[in-house]
Amino acid sequence: MNSDEIVIALVGQPNSGKSTLFNVVSGFFVDTGNFPGTTIKYTKTTVNVDGTVISLIDLPGIYSITSFDPAEKITRDFLLSEKVDVAINVVDTSLLARSLELTLQLLEMRIPMVVALNMYDEAEKKGTEIDIEKLKNLTGLEMFPVVAVKSLGIKEVFRAAVKFTQKNYKPILPVYDRDVEECIAKIEEKYPPRLKELLKVNSRFVIIRILEMDEEYEKFALMADPEFLNFVKTMRNELAEFHNWPEESVFSSHRHAIVLDLFEKVATVKSREKKPVREIIDDFIINPIGGIVVILISLLLLFSASFFLGNLFSSLIEAPLYIVKTAVTSPASGIIRSILEGLFDGFAGGFGIVIPYLVPLLLLFALYEDSGLLTRISFMVDGILHRFGLHGKSVLPLLLGYGCNVPAIMATRTLESERDRLLTILLAPFIVCSARTVVILALVGKYLGVIAVLFVYLLNIAVTLVISRILSRYRSETTTGIIMDVPPLRLPYPEIVFKKVWMKLYDFLLFAWPIIIISSLALSILNYVGIDSIINQALSPITTFLLKLPEEAGITLFLGIFRKELTLIMLNSALHTRDVSSILSNGQLWVLTIFIVFYIPCLATITTTIKEAGIKIAGVSVLLNLMVAIVISALFAMILV
């Protein structure tokens, strides 16, 4: 980071519109990265405000700094480090009473900050009127009404952040009940100087954190002076007993009371005469019958968009791509030609197969997500998914898998619990991605009919659920119960939706596409060198004995690990025919398709799994898929061939 740049961090609760604000001000190319040693992501961009260059960081959304969530700890440490010049606290004004809890905690951290009262229009719609001047006076913070989706008030916030000076900053810290304040004062007297050296954070904040059972700060206190820690613990215990509250929430309950009091001072809530339309729609969606109808329509739309639009686009670009390919590769010969072909196939595969299927999916997902429909779908299906050991929030990543497994695995980041995340990562490769859809349509669809295609999908879903059930038994702890915000239904803003789709696509282009190209290149070279017969022989116990397929299928399946959709093309060349049914019986077609649907995830998926969950989980994932594929297709081979 440049020293003359101002670093501004966006911090706020999930669904506060923090990322929307970020998207509105950012350009098309943003940096994303993980905090060192974690899977917690941040996004960074450069913004120019009246000639001042700002490095803007979008921190993960956090509800508070009280719980034991790793994202909260990282956000806290990042804000307390000297890397941030000013923080912009993005607040959902329509949920002001809840959002202020985080604002007060940030205030207690005494970091330089200004507040963006986002979704100001929604608060007005809800009938909540806020006396901003009063709120500013009571907190000592600069605040601005903002409607991020309409770009209203953003300039003002950023200008205030740029002009922020410590000199004029007089934050008014929340004052707790007398007994709590006395307790803090008594602890303050004994605050060890050594702890001040260890933690360069104001002592009041540290004391409050320890009173809220912050494990990390407790460790620092223990290091500085074990007696001091014991003293704080005794005080904490007394406080909890006195108020008859559980120890871990005695402090947050106090803060909650302060927030409610503050809210009542600044807000007037008018009751509305009639129910707004969106609530009437909402009532319909969360009704069992309405809900099932809406879910079915959403799913139908999702699949048909992916199938029809995907097929349409990929067939449209097929011919031009072929012309370009011959133009590029025909002048060359020998290994050079193979290399060129490999590179081109990889490029075309990403462009012509994955993207046409992925874009409609991403677009619909962004719409479902931004409108609040996805939350309602999670609400409706959580009960069913729970039976299979899954979490309602797993719906999004798993459905995204029908486009491509890579973004599906990336999307598991939204799952808070490690157990749910790993389970979803292991299940994602079972979902039939667009590359495998191509194979299913071309083998089963072409030779065995539409009903057969449907059967393959249903079989796949059934198997995935059974595996989920088994895996969740294996991980003994049960899935953490869902606790999730239900934001009101909203009309998505096209700009924000497109930005969102672009960001996800950008992730894919940057990471998965190069791997597809490299795999394709490797494939082409292996083909040129001619190792097929060795591999065919090595794999024959599986291919010919268990699956009862021709030995030549071995190389296709092996190379299919690099690129799933290419199994088809390679099958044609390995069997020396374009009409596969002339060589394979119907039974063999079934076996082959089912094997391709379930076996080893493609290289791009494996690499993503390694990146997101480590090499061990990636290994488990590969073995699991292989095992399931062999067992199921061997069963089919026994019955049908």
Partner 1 sequence: MSLEDAKEGKILRILKFNAGQNAVSRMNAHGIYEGSEIKIIKNAPFRGPVMIENVKTGGRIMIGRGIARKIEVDLE
Residues in contact with partner 1 by CB under 8 A are: 63-64, 66-68, 94-98, 101, 126, 128, 245-246, 248-249, 252-253, 256, 260, 263, 286-288, 291, 375, 378-384, 386-387, 392, 478, 480-488
Query: Least distance in Å: CB of 458 to partner 1?
Result: 19
If the CB atoms of residues 122 and 612 are measured against partner 1, the closer one turns out to be: 122
If the CB atoms of residues 375 and 536 are measured against partner 1, the closer one turns out to be: 375
The Cβ-side half-sphere exposure at 364, using a 13 Å CA radius, reads 20
- 566: number of Cβ within 10 Å: 23
* Nearest-10 Cα torsion for 455, 459, 465, 470: 170
CA–CA dist 404, 563 (Å, integer): 12
Strand residue runs (E) in 324-398? none
If the CB atoms of residues 98 and 563 are measured against partner 1, the closer one turns out to be: 98
Phi, psi (rounded to 5 degrees) for 562: -70, -45
If the CB atoms of residues 266 and 603 are measured against partner 1, the closer one turns out to be: 266
Query: Least distance in Å: CB of 379 to partner 1?
Result: 5
Query: Least distance in Å: CB of 307 to partner 1?
Result: 28
For 525, the token pair is 């070279």
Query: Least distance in Å: CB of 114 to partner 1?
Result: 23
Q: Are 524 and 345 in contact (CB under 8 A)?
A: yes
Per-residue CA distances from 242 to 130, 236, 248, 562 (Å) = 35, 10, 14, 64
Query: Least distance in Å: CB of 486 to partner 1?
Result: 4
If the CB atoms of residues 155 and 490 are measured against partner 1, the closer one turns out to be: 490
Strand residue runs (E) in 22-162? 31-34, 41-49, 52-58, 86-92, 113-118, 128-130, 142-145
CA–CA dist 128, 122 (Å, integer): 9
Query: Least distance in Å: CB of 382 to partner 1?
Result: 5
CA–CA dist 24, 506 (Å, integer): 17
DSSP track, 507-575: HHHHHHHHHHHHHHHHHHHHHHHT-HHHHHHHHHIIIIIIS---TTHHHHHHHTTT-TTHHHHHHHHHH
Query: Least distance in Å: CB of 368 to partner 1?
Result: 17
If the CB atoms of residues 320 and 383 are measured against partner 1, the closer one turns out to be: 383
Please, which residues bridge with residue 86 across strands? Answer: 8
Distance of CA 316 to the CA centre of its chain: 32
- Using only the alpha carbons of the chain, give its radius of gyration: 29
Query: Least distance in Å: CB of 91 to partner 1?
Result: 13
Over 590-620, what HEC string results? HHHHHHHHHCCCCHHHHHHHHHHHCHHHHHH
Which residue in 192, 140, 195 sits closest to 170, CA to CA?
140
Query: Least distance in Å: CB of 420 to partner 1?
Result: 12
Burial of 301 (0-12, 13-18, 19+ CB in 10 A): middle
Phi, psi (rounded to 5 degrees) for 355: -60, -45
Buried b (16+ CB within 10 A) or exposed e, 411-436: bbbebbeebbbbbbbbbbbbbbbbbb
For 541, the token pair is 């116990």
If the CB atoms of residues 169 and 245 are measured against partner 1, the closer one turns out to be: 245
If the CB atoms of residues 156 and 248 are measured against partner 1, the closer one turns out to be: 248
If the CB atoms of residues 277 and 483 are measured against partner 1, the closer one turns out to be: 483
- Alpha helices, DSSP H, located in 202-287: 203-211, 215-224, 226-243, 250-266, 277-285
* Nearest-10 Cα torsion for 316, 321, 326, 331: 160
If the CB atoms of residues 176 and 447 are measured against partner 1, the closer one turns out to be: 176
If the CB atoms of residues 66 and 625 are measured against partner 1, the closer one turns out to be: 66
For 74, the token pair is 């990282």
Helix (H) or strand (E) holding 76: helix 70-80
Query: Least distance in Å: CB of 327 to partner 1?
Result: 56
Burial of 107 (0-12, 13-18, 19+ CB in 10 A): buried
If the CB atoms of residues 62 and 602 are measured against partner 1, the closer one turns out to be: 62
Query: Least distance in Å: CB of 92 to partner 1?
Result: 9
CA–CA dist 591, 585 (Å, integer): 10
Query: Least distance in Å: CB of 19 to partner 1?
Result: 19
Distance of CA 449 to the CA centre of its chain: 36
Q: Are 386 and 394 in contact (CB under 8 A)?
A: no
Query: Least distance in Å: CB of 96 to partner 1?
Result: 8
If the CB atoms of residues 117 and 624 are measured against partner 1, the closer one turns out to be: 117
Query: Least distance in Å: CB of 620 to partner 1?
Result: 26
If the CB atoms of residues 96 and 302 are measured against partner 1, the closer one turns out to be: 96
If the CB atoms of residues 381 and 620 are measured against partner 1, the closer one turns out to be: 381
Query: Least distance in Å: CB of 98 to partner 1?
Result: 4
